[in-house]
Amino acid sequence: MTPGDVNNLAARLSTGWDDAAGVRVLVGVLGLAVLWMVLRAVVRRDGSLIVGLLWFVLGVLCLAFAAAPQRLINAVISTEYMTRIRIILGAISVLVLVITFESIRRTHLQERYALLWVATALVILVAACFPRAVALFRALTGMTYASAMLAVAFTFLVLVAFHFSISISGMQSKHSRLAQRVAILEARLRKLEREAEKQA
């Protein structure tokens, strides 16, 4: 699909939004239900803050979508295709940065594991804010802007997965060594208990 096809499809799907009262009410009720569950979880202190933040964003988006007038939807659709992609990528990278730093602050994520997440989010944020930064990569590969951004994000996510694979392998080695030491200590303890029973 070309950007023009996407714009035409979005224009067809978004027309008549002011008259679609049933869909607007349904989306609004869904947003209110999500926000109510988030508020209830915050009051009861159930769940993590990060999950609550993601659900809160979803609820606010549902309410904004339900309350958006037709002229605002038309204004969003009339903006340039690449501008919309850059805004979405920038918002996602900021969300990843917020979640990563909050996880570090709450000691759910160690700094050494967060470095690649922070680097990924910063690279995507820089590329979203400064599209000329991706121009060399696009010129070398012949990709479009969206494809280049996906390639950059995919590369960093592969690095994150590889980093976690190395960490998990190291932890499994440590666990097997600890299990061997515990087995040796248990054998020595049993031997000492038998010798103590014989002497008694």
Query: Could you count the other beta carbons within 10 Å of the beta carbon of residue 141?
Result: 11
User: What number of helices (H) and strands (E) belong to the chain?
Assistant: 8, 0
Evaluate if residue 180 carries a pLDDT over 70. Answer: yes
Question: Which of the four pLDDT bands, split at 50, 70 and 90, describes residue 8?
Answer: low
Note the pLDDT of residue 7.
Answer: 56
Query: Could you count the other beta carbons within 10 Å of the beta carbon of residue 75?
Result: 11
134 in helix, strand or coil? helix
pTM: 0.61
Note the pLDDT of residue 5.
Answer: 63
Separation of alpha carbons 193 and 23, rounded Å: 74
Query: How do the domains of the chain map onto residue ranges?
Result: 1-78
pLDDT digits (tens, 9 = 90+) for 111-162: 777 887 888 888 888 888 887 777 777 777 788 777 777 787 788 778 878 8
CA dihedral of residues 111, 113, 118, 119 (deg, nearest 10): 120
Burial class (CB in 10 A: 0-12, 13-18, 19+), 181: exposed
Portion of the chain with pLDDT greater than 70, in percent: 84
Output the furthest CA–CA distance in the chain (Å, rounded). 93
pLDDT digits (tens, 9 = 90+) for 80-102: 777 888 888 888 888 888 888 87
pLDDT digits (tens, 9 = 90+) for 16-49: 555 666 777 788 888 888 888 888 877 777 766 6
Tokens in use for 183? 């087995």
Note the pLDDT of residue 11.
Answer: 55
